[in-house]
Each structure stands twice: as structure tokens, then as C-alpha cells.
Amino acid sequence: MLKFASISLLALATATPAFAETADSDEIVVTASGIEQPRDQVGQAITIIDADTIEKRQTVDIVDLLATTPGIRFNRTGSTGSVASVSIRGAETTQTLVLIDGVKVNDPSGIGDGYDFGHLLTSNIRRIEVLRGSNSVVHGSQAIGGVVNLMTATPAEGFSANASAEYGYSDTLSAKADVSGTAGPISGGIGAAYFRTDGISSAAVGTERDGYENFSGNARIKVALGDALSLDLRGYYITSDLDYDSFFGAPADSGDVAKLDQYVGYAGLNLGLFDGRFNSRAAVTWMRNERDYFFVRGTDPDYGYKGTNLRFEYQGVVTPADSAKLVFGYEHERPDYDFFGFGSTDSQKANIDSVYALGIVQPLAGLSLTGGVRHDDHSQFGGATTFGANANYSPNDGETNIRLSYGEGFKAPSLYQLYDSFSGNAALRPEQSKSYDIGLDQRLADGRALVSVTAFLRNTTDQINYDNATFTYGNIDRTRTKGVEATLALRPVDALNVTASYSYIDARDRSGRPAFDGKRLPRRAAHAVSLSADYDWSFGLSTGATITMVGDSFDDAANAVPLDGDALAGIRASFPVGGHFEIYGRVDNLFDADYATAFHYGTYGRAAYGGVRARF
């Protein structure tokens, strides 16, 4: 059952950093349509986690930041660095599309092309946009549940440098630094981050700690080649080394090791013509995941995977009038994967060609309408066509926003599901979804309060699952998810920010199979609450706390293995020293709650950390 921690509202009101759901109505978002848009022109549900929130919360794991977002559920199989998956509005974790600096990073070598958030630390990530709901018109495959868009810092005007280092529980060391600047027509930045920990036992019954080491680097440069032409280069790299506990059967202490190298690259040209009325972007993106697994450290890898996705993108934006835009584009991508181990090797690839068009118009004051269509042609299963439309209406200059959204999503079968020599099925069809939203955002008290409520429904068909009757993958599942998301953001005085969010997700199997039909989908708790506040004291001290409460769920599709809900609380503080330095610290899981996000896997108890930041 759900375990509640006792924290008074007064304590919360002098505590936690605010979530950026309180963004101004004119804040720019890019995830909804693939171009910059004022937020009050978007009819879809989007949450923004900005640089200030990331810094104040002092969070290391991206999934811990996402966990306070309405509609998000996650699970992690043990210590930091272990496999971590994110579900949006009850969708499969493989139906979450992930972008890093505009590059799709879902792994083509995974069983379902999912993304492992376990190795993605906050490092030098400066902004996260979470779009909830199906949106394949803009983003193509995987965007059934929604999109998580992560961005590093844009180069500063002049010169800027930041660095931080912290130490804490389980001999954990984290350090990061970045520099950026602009000189004439060239702007750029580079950053690096290092993390190591002795960790915890990933197996709940284990006694040995599973350590983890992670290094990440990022760089970007933009060169103005003329008044209308610019070159944009971006790169992101992660390398990691993880001790983990064997997952063949119930997890138990073992000497298993996993190593990852992830490469992300983007090279683009931007051209603006006719006084900005016609803008073009042509880019090549490249992502490669290399995963090696060892039964014993120091030996040759026993098995491994390599997944690569090479993409070409063209996007055009025509603005015939200030109140209208046409976005259109062409994409070609070539995912491929390689596997070795257990006496065999395998290598497969596919080609996907896509075209799309999206219209955005403001026919009258306060009303914004968006609609579009996309067609994807896959070299194996053929074509998939998706539609989407949304509207945002404000009768009072952004004080009230009424949002409506309809989106279709699809997910191509993974190369493993199509071609694996034992369980592959070349006749698989893409998974398809239809998603409906209706929402209301209401500002009160001269903008010091925001109430946001969204109701949603999504039906997914042809969902791919392993068929125990044929021992192959098949389009055997149907699911339905419905629910409500609500956020209350308050700023009663300039120094205090309070945010509360709640989401209800009813995610159920609708396959018709007697053992599963009507059951709740695994690891999707129906209820989740997050309450945060932060207070900036007049003498410079900043204090904060967050509490998240997640209801009961099940670890399996038959709903035979329950997972108890949990309530976790954390507190934090920071204090400036001089003009360029700041000391900070936090305590996670303040009340040492015993909980699990995946059956048989361990979680962290109470843990404290402290560090210092420098800015120039």
C-alpha cells in the first residue's frame, strides 16, 4: 500500500525548487512542431524543466527529475547506472521517443528500440521538454507515449564558465564543467562531466555494492557564414562502466559487468531567405550505441550489441503571413544493429523514408490551430500514415488557455523483432495509436498562480509482444489508457515558489487474452503526486524540499506480483560564497523509505551529498 511521509505544508513552503510548469505564456517551445513556437500557440501538453530547476534540485539522475512530471512513471533495476525506463501516460517504455540536442537516440539494437535512461545523468543538460501524447507527425516512430527532448546549453554572449563538484553517500563523486562564448560570427561551447560511485546492491537480496563510473562530454559550435546562412555542429558522448547483478532468473550477487559507449552527432546548415519568410534546414545526424557484457571483469566480452542510426533531414518553414506557417520536410534514416555472443552473430539494417507537412495558423486573436500529416515508408513492412491536429484558444491574452489535441502515433518493429533468427517475424506491422487531449490552463492573482488540468485518452493497436504459442513476436496486444493530469503552481511572494502535481493513469490490457485482458499494465501506478517548494532567503540562503508519492502497481502483466507504493522526501540547500562560488547539499530519501520500482531490485535508502559550484 502507499506509504506516506509526514511533512508539514509549512516545511514544504520553505523548501523545494519550483517546477517550470509555471513558465510565462510567451515561453518558447520546440518539441510540439519541430520549430520554435510561443507556448500559448500549442494545444499539446508540454512540461519544461529549465536550467534553474535542474540546478536547484541538485539531481544527478534524469529519471529522478522526470519522476515529478505529471504522467511519468519510471522503473530502475538497482544502482545508479542500471537499466532505467520511462513510461509516458501508461505507454510502453519503448514507446517514448528521446532526443539529445535534436538527435534521436533510441537504440536500434534494443529488443524494442527503447532508450536506457540509466546512463543519462544531468551532467551538462540545461533544458528538458516533455511532450505527453502521441505525436508522430513531427517525430515519426516511437512517439506513441510522447517525447523527452534534452538540450545542452546554447553558447553565451561573450564568455561564460561553470564548474561544480560534489561528494557523498557510498563514496560518490560527481564533477562537471563547461565553457562557452561568442566571438564575431562564431559561437560555441564545450562541457564534460565525471561520475563515480560504489553504489548499492542492484539485487534486493544482495550484499555486495554494484559500482558505476560515467564520463560524458558535449560540444557545439555555430558559424555564421553570411547574413542568411549558418553552420551548426553538435556532439554528445557517454562512456560508462557498470557492475550489475545477474538478471537470468531472480537477480542475485554476481560479477557481471556492462560497458557502454554512446556517440551522438549533428551537422546542419540553416538558410533564411526573403527576409525570413522562407527558412530551410538540412542536417545529417548520427547515433551509435555500443554495449558489451562480461560475466567476469577483465575477460573478453561474452556478448554485445551495436546499434547505429544514420539520418538525413530536410525541413522547410514558409511564413506567407505573420499569422500562418507551413512546415514541411523529408527524412531518410538507416537503422542497423549487430549482435555477437553465445556462439552466433547477427547483423540487420533497414531503410525508412518519410515526408510530412504541418500547418500553423492564427485565424483570429487568441486562437492557434495546427494540423499535419506524415507518411513513413519502411523497407520491410511498408508504409504508415499518421495525422495530428491541436488547438489553443485564449480569450483574454493568455490568462486562460483552452487546449484540444488529437495525435496519431506509430512505432516501427525493431530490427530484432523483425529479423532475430529464433523469434523474429518479418510480417510484423507497426504499432499504432490514437491520442486525445483536452486541457485548461488558468492564471490567477496577476500571474502568481496557475492551475492546469488535462484529461487524456489513448488507444493502441497492433502492439508487439512475444507470442508464447508460436515462440515469435506478433501484433497481439491492444491497450487503452485514460487519465487526468493536474498542476497547481503558486508564487505568493517573489521569494517563494510552490508546485503540486497529480496524475491518474488507468492503463489496461485490451488484447482479449483471458489471462491478461482487463489487467493493469505492469509498473504503471494509477496515482502519483509530487509536491515541491523553494524559498530564497534575503541573506542569500536557498532552501528546498520535494515529496513524491506513487501508488501501488504490479510488476507483471498477469497482476500476480504486487509492487507497493512509496513516498519519498528530499531536502536541499545552497548558499553563495563571494560573487562566483556557492556551496550546496541535499539529503535524498529523508525518511529512509523502503520501496521498489522493479520486483527483486534494490533502491537507495537515506543518502546525503554536498558540493561547491563556481560561475564566471
Kindly report, residue by residue over 179-194, the tens digit of the pLDDT.
999 999 999 999 999 9
| Phi, psi for residue 419 in degrees, rounded to 5 | -120, -5
Kindly indicate the confidence band of residue 421, based on its pLDDT and cuts at 50, 70 and 90.
Answer: confident
Kindly indicate the confidence band of residue 20, based on its pLDDT and cuts at 50, 70 and 90.
Answer: very low
The reported pLDDT for the residue numbered 303 is 95
The reported pLDDT for the residue numbered 251 is 86
The reported pLDDT for the residue numbered 199 is 96
Q: Where are the alpha helices (DSSP H) in 150-194?
A: none
The residue segments making up the domain with residue 34 are 9-615
CATH number (domain holding residue 83): 2.40.170.20
Count of beta carbons in the 10 Å neighbourhood of residue 514: 7
Classify residue 4: in a domain, yes or no. Answer: no
Classify residue 206: in a domain, yes or no. Answer: yes
Residues 188-214: what's their mean pLDDT?
Answer: 96
- Mean of per-residue pLDDT scores for the chain: 92
pLDDT digits (tens, 9 = 90+) for 387-420: 999 999 999 988 999 999 999 999 999 999 999 8
pLDDT digits (tens, 9 = 90+) for 143-179: 999 999 999 988 888 899 999 999 999 999 999 999 9
- Is the model's pLDDT at 613 over the cut of 80? yes
Residues 250-278: what's their mean pLDDT?
Answer: 94
Residues 245-268: what's their mean pLDDT?
Answer: 91
- Is the model's pLDDT at 15 over the cut of 70? no
**Cα–Cα distance measured from residue 102 to residue 36, given in angstroms and rounded to the nearest whole number:** 13
HSE, side-chain direction, 13 A CA sphere, residue 468: 2
Percentage of residues in the chain having pLDDT higher than 90: 86
- Is the model's pLDDT at 11 over the cut of 70? no
The reported pLDDT for the residue numbered 7 is 32
Q: Which three cell numbers stand for residue 380?
A: 520491410
- Is the model's pLDDT at 202 over the cut of 50? yes
Residues 127-139: what's their mean pLDDT?
Answer: 94
**Cα–Cα distance measured from residue 59 to residue 454, given in angstroms and rounded to the nearest whole number:** 27
Classify residue 2: in a domain, yes or no. Answer: no
pLDDT digits (tens, 9 = 90+) for 474-509: 999 999 999 999 999 999 999 999 999 999 999 999
Classify residue 173: in a domain, yes or no. Answer: yes
The reported pLDDT for the residue numbered 111 is 86
The reported pLDDT for the residue numbered 5 is 36
- Is the model's pLDDT at 247 over the cut of 80? no
Q: Where are the alpha helices (DSSP H) in 390-437?
A: 415-419
Q: Among all chains, which residue has been given the C-alpha cell 500553423?
A: 360
Among 613, 566, 611, residue whose Cα is nearest residue 593: 566
Kindly indicate the confidence band of residue 246, based on its pLDDT and cuts at 50, 70 and 90.
Answer: confident
- Is the model's pLDDT at 220 over the cut of 50? yes
- Burial zone of 366 (CB within 10 Å; 0-12 exposed, 13-18 middle, 19+ buried): middle
The reported pLDDT for the residue numbered 215 is 98
Q: Which three cell numbers stand for residue 259?
A: 560497458
CA-angle at 241, arms to 82 and 120, nearest 5°? 50
How many structural domains compose the chain? 1
**Distances from the Cα of 98 to the Cαs of 86, 300, 397, in angstroms?**
10, 31, 33
Classify residue 487: in a domain, yes or no. Answer: yes
Residues 5-15: what's their mean pLDDT?
Answer: 32
Query: Hey, what amino acid is at 53?
Result: T
The DSSP symbol for 121 reads B
The reported pLDDT for the residue numbered 420 is 86
Beta strands in 381-423 (DSSP E): 382-393, 400-411
Residues 576-596: what's their mean pLDDT?
Answer: 96
- Residue scoring higher pLDDT (271 or 4): 271
Under a CB-based contact definition with an 8 Å cutoff, are residues 302 and 295 in contact? yes
| Phi, psi for residue 64 in degrees, rounded to 5 | -70, -30
Q: Among all chains, which residue has been given the C-alpha cell 557481471?
A: 256
Residues 347-360: what's their mean pLDDT?
Answer: 96
The reported pLDDT for the residue numbered 16 is 31
Global pTM? 0.93
The DSSP annotation for 332-346 comes to: EEEEEEEEEETTEEE
Classify residue 201: in a domain, yes or no. Answer: yes
Percentage of residues in the chain having pLDDT higher than 70: 96
Residues 88-95: what's their mean pLDDT?
Answer: 95
**Cα–Cα distance measured from residue 88 to residue 74, given in angstroms and rounded to the nearest whole number:** 9
Kindly indicate the confidence band of residue 4, based on its pLDDT and cuts at 50, 70 and 90.
Answer: very low
pLDDT digits (tens, 9 = 90+) for 289-306: 999 999 999 999 999 999
- Is the model's pLDDT at 10 over the cut of 70? no
- Is the model's pLDDT at 543 over the cut of 90? yes
Classify residue 92: in a domain, yes or no. Answer: yes
- Is the model's pLDDT at 19 over the cut of 50? no
Kindly indicate the confidence band of residue 21, based on its pLDDT and cuts at 50, 70 and 90.
Answer: very low
The reported pLDDT for the residue numbered 249 is 74
**Cα–Cα distance measured from residue 5 to residue 120, given in angstroms and rounded to the nearest whole number:** 29
